[in-house]
Chain A
Amino acid sequence: MGLFAKRPLLAGCVVGALLFLALLAILLFAADLSSSKFIYADF
């Protein structure tokens, strides 16, 4: 709360960066490749 009260713009930048990192992590590690129905058992 301290940073938000004293420097709201900087706090916003930090939160924006964290949101971006969260999006990147979802894309890299969690997003489902639903375009493929291939499963390993078929190989």
Chain B
Amino acid sequence: MTATPDGVDGNPERGGPDRAFLAGAAATFFTLLLLAEAAARLAAGSGWLYRRIDFAGSLTSLPELEQRIAWNSRRPYPVFLLGDSVLGATALWEHRVARPRRLTVPARLAPSAAAAGISVQSLAADGLLLPDLEAIDRAIGASQAKGKEPARRVIVLNFRMFAAEFAAPGKALSRDFLLPELRAEGSPPDPALAGRDDALGDRLSAGAARYCALARTAWQLQPLWYFPTRRDAFRRLLEPAHGGPADENADLQDAALHLKVDPYYRDRWDTGSPAFHALGALLEAARSHRDVQTIVVLTPQNPEFVGDPAIFAWNRRVLGEFVARHGQPGEGSVAYRDLADRFPAGRFLDHCHLTPEGNREYAQILLALINE
């Protein structure tokens, strides 16, 4: 028995079939990986992804955020919406509204704005706080610094963002991956934002998102099937077997909501808090952006949840005065609108999230403000 000559020179090749198997597996795996990476880069870089899929309400990484900003900055008359879940679909989804993504404020606003030649991109996401918005605003500023067209910002503030519980160390920033953006300009961020462990998993995740478009795009797509979070998606799947929320006590749900949101309206706001510090930095930046208009809006609140009317009015006045003081005309301009008492209770799903009809009216108000 002699070995089958399978080398190019007719000699038996060491390894034989095993080597061919490994070569085929490695070549196929890495070729497909490279092709998928190229496709992901092309889809995101050309805007193909963003024209077809609405990612409003989710934010998965800093590179993904920068990608969305870069894409909208290339479009005519770009406008960025910054805010929290008020601009997303989660509350609609929780209240079993069909097709919630099509009924959000940005989804209602974008077509009307596009008809007027304005390109609206929402960078809002559930749970965002003011330091998050400051970081996002800096990312927009960095995009402008690279020569893109000046962009307008619409900053939607919510009472929740100023709550005392989010002034605690480690709670003032909702997305850890935005912290590098706050450190980018050399100024140390608020102590309430710092001192957090930088876990190996976070660093790996951030590195993968930065250098691998395939991973970035895959994570970006996850909220399409795990919405708003993986846990909620699985809970919704299990509902038919265990009975849905309709079977639960409505009074109990209402009490739980009050328990959660009443503290948002209970205290007088402290203008020395991380939230006001971030808002001040946002307004200072807005003033210094030449030819850029920033619109700051205090989002509508359900009158049945606002607690003590005196504290509610006091907080609104404090915010109005703060914005007026820090947003005085500079090279850029800042406009402020307090819409806290704009809608009746019937337009709300809960303390601050609007019904589809409320979202439609809210979008009209924002469009009018953008057009002013």
Please list the residues of chain A having a beta carbon within 8 angstroms of any beta carbon in chain B. 4-5, 8-17, 19-20, 23-24, 27-29, 31-43
Knowing that A16-B24, A16-B32, A43-B90 touch, tell me 16 more A-B residue pairs with CB under 8 angstroms: A4-B17, A12-B22, A12-B28, A17-B28, A20-B36, A24-B218, A35-B61, A35-B205, A36-B59, A36-B60, A36-B175, A37-B176, A39-B127, A40-B90, A42-B126, A42-B127
B residues near A23, Cβ cutoff 8 Å = 33
In Å, the complex CA distance between A26 and B195 comes to: 31
B127 with A8: CB separation less than 8 A: no
A40 with B25: CB separation less than 8 A: no
B209 with A20: CB separation less than 8 A: no
Q: How far is the CB of A25 from chain B (nearest CB, A)?
A: 10
Question: Assuming A16-B28, A43-B126, is B20 touching A9 (CB within 8 A)?
Answer: yes
A38 with B24: CB separation less than 8 A: no
A16 with B219: CB separation less than 8 A: no
A36 with B177: CB separation less than 8 A: yes
B interface, size bucket: 35 or more
B26 with A16: CB separation less than 8 A: yes
- A-B contact number at CB 8 A: 119
Q: How far is the CB of A35 from chain B (nearest CB, A)?
A: 4
B residues near A5, Cβ cutoff 8 Å = 17
A residues near B125, Cβ cutoff 8 Å = 38
Interface of A: prevailing SS: helix
In Å, the complex CA distance between A11 and B126 comes to: 46
A residues near B127, Cβ cutoff 8 Å = 38-39, 42-43
B residues near A31, Cβ cutoff 8 Å = 215, 218-219, 222
Q: Any chain A CB within 8 A of the CB of B202?
A: yes
A12 with B24: CB separation less than 8 A: yes
The answer, among B21, B84, B225, for a CB contact under 8 Å with A4, is B21
In Å, the complex CA distance between A10 and B215 comes to: 28
Mark each residue of chain B from 175 to 203: 1 if its CB lies under 8 Å from any CB of chain A, else 0: 11100000000000000000000010110
Residue of A nearest to B201 (CB): A34
In Å, the complex CA distance between A11 and B19 comes to: 12
A residues near B372, Cβ cutoff 8 Å = none
30 contacts between A and B (CB under 8 A): A8-B17, A9-B24, A10-B24, A11-B21, A12-B21, A12-B26, A12-B28, A14-B28, A15-B24, A16-B24, A16-B27, A16-B28, A16-B32, A17-B28, A20-B29, A24-B218, A28-B221, A35-B206, A36-B174, A36-B177, A37-B174, A38-B125, A38-B174, A38-B175, A40-B126, A40-B231, A40-B232, A41-B260, A42-B126, A43-B127
